[in-house]
């Protein structure tokens, strides 16, 4: 690192970058602030930035009036369940393609990718009708199933790119030593694959938690996750800004934290390994 | 060496995923094709009959289709322009020696993790409300008339919301690409006396060409299907001003209960997405060889 970096250069870019970061982050900050205001203060002009009467009553109201925890639990079950099932199906598939590739592996991978590109509206009608006939509308299992299938291609792709990086020589060595496939899987492969597995799971959890096409169309109340619950604030109740902000803050907080931890893997996962 | 046994095992491990995805892709799509040839309304059960391509004719000649196609293209195009146009300078800025870069990175990436319904409602109410929103207050303070976003410029309002959600994605990918640019190459160019501008034009821009293409293609796939942001803010209106193809198909299916026409519209959306997907698959596929 022999590049000259002047103090002035650092000062200017630091100020510019902090300013840009602040502007981009501001809507979230503003929402969090509003969640601690009273309804009147949230609505007031001119707005108060810090010197208002801080209160946590909105968080209590959100739970009491609309059973927030019920929807949070739905989100957790739907996002978590669909992620777990997707992993169970994807791990063997990605393992097989990464370590026993055939002539058709590349075609299969690209085909899987192409299923992700089908716009959901293209199949909205049949899925809705099938769900209606099978009594799956507004059920958690219905949503788990559809989100699992929807994200399966991304999960397989991410796992594949991670598995691909595990040196094959190690597997050969294990086989030479007489390890069976089962032992190879448990003692050699798993420890090396854990970082990849973890980041794939986290990314998929984020995608499933924030999914807002199928959840909005296929759930109303019983199975409604937080995306659908927040959407209910678009009705006249949306006039309760402080309450909307409190519910929103709770809804995004866990995923924001997970997201911040897995931001590096995000690029790789969402570009299907095209940018690393 | 792959023995016959491991080959069989490999196939057995792969098949559940392949079979599931195959069913997931083929069954609903086949049903959509089938429904699209029927006169089929949920409000009028029992009246299903084969009508050939009539639904397509009806959908494609409906003025709502042209309006929504135009809105879709404007939405996708504007968001791409905004996210890439702002994402490039932002990524370059974050690639500089900046104090507290990790914290800034966290702030910049945050909007991407906010669920669409939350960002849409926060923007619509807390920021864009014509009387009590923050933008209105800023405008009044500067002596301007506040804009009633969702009445006078609804599509622009939706564009801003969606662009805010996708700016982090573009920035992060471009930044990742910039950081993989060889430091030695930059130094060599600097030693040879290349100015900052020519280093940017001859070194940085060519290096960013590929990640920019990737951003365009991936964003396009997601932007073609923008739904929740419209659903919770405008409901497609006023009139058809913010109805995109995804929303039009939704409203035909679940508001007007016209299964036949909605299916035809869904297939039109599939065709449009496939044109984009074709290019993306080629680019990613080329990468797979390396």
Task: Specify the pLDDT at position B116.
Answer: 93
Give residue A19's pLDDT band: very low, low, confident or very high (50, 70, 90).
very high
Cα distance between residue A113 and residue B212, in whole Å: 19
Name chain B contacts of A217, Cβ cutoff 8 Å: 250, 254
Considering only the beta carbons, identify the residue of A28, A47, A112 that sits closest to B21. A112
Contacts of B221 in chain A (CB under 8 A): 117
DSSP alpha helix (H) spans, A117-189: 121-134, 140-164, 168-176, 181-183
Summarize pLDDT for A64-90 with one digit per residue, the tens. 888 889 999 999 999 999 999 999 999
Sign of the alpha-carbon dihedral angle for A36, A38, A42, A47: negative
- The mean pLDDT value for A228-253 works out to 84
Give the model's pLDDT for residue A106. 85
Q: In which element (H, E) is residue A84 found? A: helix A68-99
pLDDT at A2: 43
Confidence of residue B2 (pLDDT cuts 50, 70, 90): low
- Higher-confidence position of A147 and B3: A147
Mean pLDDT over B261-275 rounds to 88
- Contact B28/A at CB under 8 A: yes
Range of weakest confidence among A57-66, A150-159, B111-120 = A57-66
Q: Is the pLDDT of residue B281 over 80?
A: no
Is A149 strand, coil or helix?
helix
- Residue A49 DSSP one-character state: S
Measure the CA–CA gap between A127 and B161, rounded to whole angstroms: 29
Average pLDDT over residues B198-221: 83
Q: Does pLDDT of A179 surpass 90?
A: no
Task: Give the residue from A214, A127, A121, A217 showing the smallest Cα distance to B264.
Answer: A121
Tell me what pLDDT residue B152 has: 87
What's the pLDDT band for B87 if we cut at 50, 70, 90?
very high
Coil, strand or helix at A103: coil
Cβ separation B114–A256 shorter than 8 A: yes
pLDDT confidence tier of residue A276, bands split at 50, 70 and 90? low
- For the cut 90, the answer to whether the pLDDT of residue B256 exceeds it is no
- B100 with A18: Cβ contact below 8 A: yes
Interface of B with A in 192-251 (CB under 8 A): 210-211, 214, 218, 221, 224-225, 227-228, 231-233, 245-246, 249-250
Q: Name the pTM for this structure.
A: 0.88
Per-residue pLDDT at A1 exceeds 50: no
- What is the average pLDDT across B17-35? 89
For residue B136, pLDDT beyond 60:
yes
- How crowded is residue B184: how many other Cβ atoms within 10 Å of its Cβ? 8
Residues of A in contact with B110 (CB under 8 A): 24-25, 28, 256, 259-260
Residue B137: partners with Cβ closer than 8 Å, 6 or more residues away: A45, A46, A47, B146
Q: Is the pLDDT of residue A218 over 70?
A: yes
CA-nearest of B3, B264, B16 to A148 is B16
Interface membership of A261 toward B (CB under 8 Å): no
Q: Is pLDDT above 60 for B147?
A: yes
Rounded to the nearest angstrom, the minimum Cα separation between B207 and chain A is: 12
Q: Between B164 and B220, whose confidence is greater?
A: B164
Nearest-Cα distance to chain B for A202, in Å, is 12
Question: Per-residue pLDDT for A221 more than 60?
Answer: yes
Q: Which of A45-59, A75-89, A170-184 has the lowest mean pLDDT?
A: A170-184
Tens digits of per-residue pLDDT, A85-121? Answer: 999 999 989 988 888 888 888 888 888 878 887 888 8
Is this complex scored with an ipTM above 0.95?
A: no
B91: pLDDT strictly greater than 70? yes
Please tell me which of A141-145, A150-154, B23-27, B215-219 the model is most confident about, judged by mean pLDDT.
A141-145
Lowest mean pLDDT, pick from A25-39, A49-63, A209-223: A49-63
- Residue B41 forms contact with A (CB below 8 Å): no
* CA–CA min distance B10, chain A (Å): 5
B164 pLDDT band, cuts 50/70/90, is very high
Q: Is the pLDDT of residue B278 over 60?
A: yes
Q: How high is the mean pLDDT of chain B?
A: 86
Count CB neighbours of B147 within 10 A: 17
Average pLDDT, chain A: 85
CB contact under 8 A, A181 and B9: yes
- Contact list in B for residue A87 (CB cut-off 8 A) is none
A134 and B CB contact within 8 Å:
no
Interface test with A, best of B228, B244, B282, B286 (most A CBs within 10 A): B228
pLDDT category at A44 given cuts 50, 70, 90 is confident
- If one compares B258 and B183, the residue with the highest pLDDT of the two is B258
């Amino acid at each position: 690192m022999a590049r000259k970096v002047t103090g002035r250069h650092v000062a200017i870019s630091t100020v510019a970058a902090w300013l840009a970061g602040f502007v981009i982050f501001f809507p979230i900050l503003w929402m969090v602030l509003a969640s601690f205001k009273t309804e009147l203060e949230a609505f007031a002009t001119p707005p108060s930035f810090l010197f208002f009467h801080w209160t946590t009553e909105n968080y209590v109201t959100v739970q009491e009036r609309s059973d927030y925890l019920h929807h949070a639990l739905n989100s957790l079950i739907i996002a978590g369940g669909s992620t777990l099932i997707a992993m169970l199906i994807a791990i063997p598939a990605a393992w097989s393609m990464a370590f026993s590739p055939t002539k058709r592996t590349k075609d299969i991978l690209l085909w899987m990718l192409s299923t992700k590109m089908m716009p959901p509206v293209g199949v909205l009608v049949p899925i809705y009708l099938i769900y209606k006939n099978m009594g799956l509308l507004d059920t958690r299992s219905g949503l788990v199933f559809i989100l699992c299938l929807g994200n399966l291609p991304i999960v397989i792709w991410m796992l594949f790119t991670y598995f691909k990086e595990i040196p094959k020589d190690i597997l050969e060595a294990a086989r030479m030593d007489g390890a069976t496939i089962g032992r190879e899987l448990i003692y050699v492969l798993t420890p090396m694959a854990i970082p990849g597995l973890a980041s794939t799971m986290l990314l998929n959890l984020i995608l499933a938690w924030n999914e807002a096409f199928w959840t909005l169309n296929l759930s109303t109340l019983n199975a409604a996750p937080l995306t659908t619950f927040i959407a209910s604030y678009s009705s006249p109740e949306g006039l309760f800004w402080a309450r909307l902000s409190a519910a929103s803050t709770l809804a995004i907080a866990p995923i924001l934290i997970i997201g911040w931890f897995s931001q590096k893997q995000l690029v790789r996962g969402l570009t299907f390994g095209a940018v690393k | 060496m792959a023995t016959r046994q491991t080959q069989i095992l490999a196939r057995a491990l792969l098949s559940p995923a392949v079979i599931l995805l195959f069913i997931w892709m083929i069954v609903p799509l086949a049903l959509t094709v089938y429904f699209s040839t029927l006169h089929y309304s949920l409000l009028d059960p029992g009246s299903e009959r084969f009508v050939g391509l009539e639904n397509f004719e009806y959908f494609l000649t409906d003025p709502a289709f042209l309006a929504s196609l135009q809105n879709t293209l404007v939405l996708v195009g504007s968001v791409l322009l905004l996210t890439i146009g702002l994402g490039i300078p932002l990524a370059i800025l974050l690639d500089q020696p900046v104090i507290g870069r990790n914290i800034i990175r966290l702030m910049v990436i945050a909007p991407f993790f906010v669920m669409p319904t939350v960002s849409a409602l926060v923007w619509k109410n807390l920021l864009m409300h014509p009387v009590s929103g923050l933008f209105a207050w800023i405008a009044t303070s500067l002596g301007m008339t506040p804009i009633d976003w969702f009445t006078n410029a609804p599509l622009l309002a939706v564009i801003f919301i969606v662009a805010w959600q996708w700016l982090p994605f573009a920035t992060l990918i471009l930044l990742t690409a910039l950081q993989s640019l060889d430091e030695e190459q930059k130094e060599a160019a600097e030693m040879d006396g290349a100015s900052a501008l020519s280093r940017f034009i001859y070194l940085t821009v060519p290096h960013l060409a590929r990640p920019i293409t990737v951003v365009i293609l991936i964003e396009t796939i997601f932007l073609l299907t923008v739904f929740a942001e419209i659903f919770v803010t405008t409901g497609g209106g006023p009139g058809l001003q913010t109805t995109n193809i995804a929303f039009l198909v939704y409203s035909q299916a679940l508001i007007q209960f016209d299964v036949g026409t909605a299916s035809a519209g869904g297939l039109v959306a599939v065709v449009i997405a496939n044109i984009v997907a074709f290019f993306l698959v080629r680019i990613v596929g080329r990468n797979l060889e390396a």
